[in-house]
Chain A
């Protein structure tokens, strides 16, 4: 590969953000405070949004921020603060079986890497010269075209979940 074709700025940014995300992810599980752990998770999710931006996937990046940072994490923190969120360290947060998680994480990582590598063996993202932005129109066309049935199925599952939540929450 020619030096001119390497995206230096993008690669450096990718490395920095990835390092930040790894640190954040480790802190999520090792932190001694529930709210701190949730905030580290925000950092990881926001980092994922930044990575999407680096590969020209604007729509996905913004969706990531809107759904995860703006909604899911806020509900997360909301729930934690309503129930139990002491300030300072809590010592009973770490489960004794934490070591079991390590092989599970390794196997998951291996499986996902294998799927990515075998799935996209020779495919590369277009370089800056062929900066093809993913058009939002294309996304919507594919959702409401070839992927209509899965989209409907997902909406139905969500509807069931919403109704289930209401049924569970109602006292009468």
Chain B
């Protein structure tokens, strides 16, 4: 389909480089636009203004600061595991991007069980957080780690269940095919907009976004790093570039989850295929490989905006409220969503 043929090793290299860009570019943009500027705007202040025009180089300055800080480790800590923990968290983010498609040919792996894979590797980061809390040899860290593990396990379940509705409707777990199913679909015989699943799976979308908010431990679900009671939770003892890794992982994962949500519910990289008369995924024009990533990026920014908006607006849940919300509200709702979707799928 591509006019030029690239050898297999070249494609692999390009895909790895593309994956790094697809993780780090959104992370940087999210931190500057939302964490620095939007948060400041909502709190009636300017935010960073010194480094670069409108403080746009602030992040570069911050990274420079973190990199040249002394590498401090508590003496009683388990040093090897202490060093390993942030890397496990970041690895989970990089593994996550591997299944996200950005265009008809612009994918990293075209994995048949993509949705399932996405849920599996996102749960690996819990391990990193848990051992970060333990290895710090600090009671606050350990408490934060345990809280994080309890919370992430509780909210992983509604996330899995919310996605099942989409899988039932699309009839596939391949993310590329889910994009195709949404853009080639039609609503009551009208195909002008395709059939983005946010309309039919709105309940699933809401549950998914709440679960993502909790998985990212963003406020109101930031019990694990509740700074007024736990200093900084499992990150308390981390400083310098090890903290930087946690920091990047937090915002990169926000970006990647938003990308996944836009694939599952907002139609991904595609535009409704009927606009250009495309019949199949192979019929999609080549220029979508360039436009697709841009569409994905804008959808991601929209969803991250939602996540950050909630983060800067609502106060923190109490631990018992947080658990009750997952087990008694989100899981029953998503189970009901699966039932209804399955029944409607059989009926129509």
Binding site for B on A (CB under 8 A): 33, 35-36, 39, 42, 58-59, 62-63, 65-66, 69-71, 73-75, 77-78, 81-82, 85, 87-88, 133, 135-136
Interface centre among A33, A35, A75 (most CB of B within 10 A): A35
- Across the interface, A87 reaches (CB within 8 A) one of B78, B119, B130, namely B78
- B135 contacts A87, C-beta separation under 8 Å: yes
- Across the interface, A74 reaches (CB within 8 A) one of B77, B133, B153, namely B153
Chain B 102-124: CB-based contact to A (< 8 A → 1; otherwise 0): 00000000011100110111011
Is there a chain A Cβ closer than 8 Å to B131's Cβ?
A: yes
- B120 contacts A70, C-beta separation under 8 Å: yes
Complex CA–CA separation, A128 to B133 (angstroms): 44
- A136 contacts B112, C-beta separation under 8 Å: yes
- A71 contacts B146, C-beta separation under 8 Å: no
- B113 contacts A59, C-beta separation under 8 Å: yes
Interface centre among A59, A73, A74 (most CB of B within 10 A): A74
Classify the secondary structure of B's interface with A. helix
- B127 contacts A74, C-beta separation under 8 Å: yes
Known: A69-B123, A69-B127, A135-B112. 5 other contacts (CB 8 A): A35-B78, A66-B123, A74-B127, A77-B149, A133-B112
Is there a chain A Cβ closer than 8 Å to B39's Cβ?
A: no
Residue of B nearest to A82 (CB): B146
Complex CA–CA separation, A88 to B133 (angstroms): 15
Specify which chain A residues have a CB less than 8 angstroms from the CB of B112 in the assembled complex: 58-59, 133, 135-136
Specify which chain B residues have a CB less than 8 angstroms from the CB of A81 in the assembled complex: 130, 133-134, 142, 145-146
CB-defined A-B contacts under 8 Å, sample of 11: A35-B81, A42-B127, A62-B113, A69-B120, A74-B152, A77-B131, A78-B130, A81-B142, A85-B134, A87-B76, A136-B113
- A78 contacts B146, C-beta separation under 8 Å: yes
Is there a chain A Cβ closer than 8 Å to B295's Cβ?
A: no
- A136 contacts B124, C-beta separation under 8 Å: no
- B130 contacts A77, C-beta separation under 8 Å: yes
> Known contacts being A35-B134, A39-B131, A81-B145, is A74 close to B173, with CB within 8 Å?
no
Is there a chain A Cβ closer than 8 Å to B137's Cβ?
A: yes
- A65 contacts B130, C-beta separation under 8 Å: no
- B149 contacts A78, C-beta separation under 8 Å: yes
Is there a chain A Cβ closer than 8 Å to B150's Cβ?
A: yes
Distance in Å from the Cβ of B326 to the closest Cβ of chain A?
Answer: 15
> Known contacts being A62-B117, A62-B120, A136-B113, is A74 close to B130, with CB within 8 Å?
yes
Is there a chain A Cβ closer than 8 Å to B301's Cβ?
A: no
Complex CA–CA separation, A62 to B116 (angstroms): 7
Distance in Å from the Cβ of A67 to the closest Cβ of chain B?
Answer: 9
Interface centre among B112, B137, B146 (most CB of A within 10 A): B112
Specify which chain B residues have a CB less than 8 angstroms from the CB of A87 in the assembled complex: 76-78, 134-135, 137
Complex CA–CA separation, A50 to B149 (angstroms): 25
Residue of B nearest to A77 (CB): B130
Complex CA–CA separation, A66 to B146 (angstroms): 19
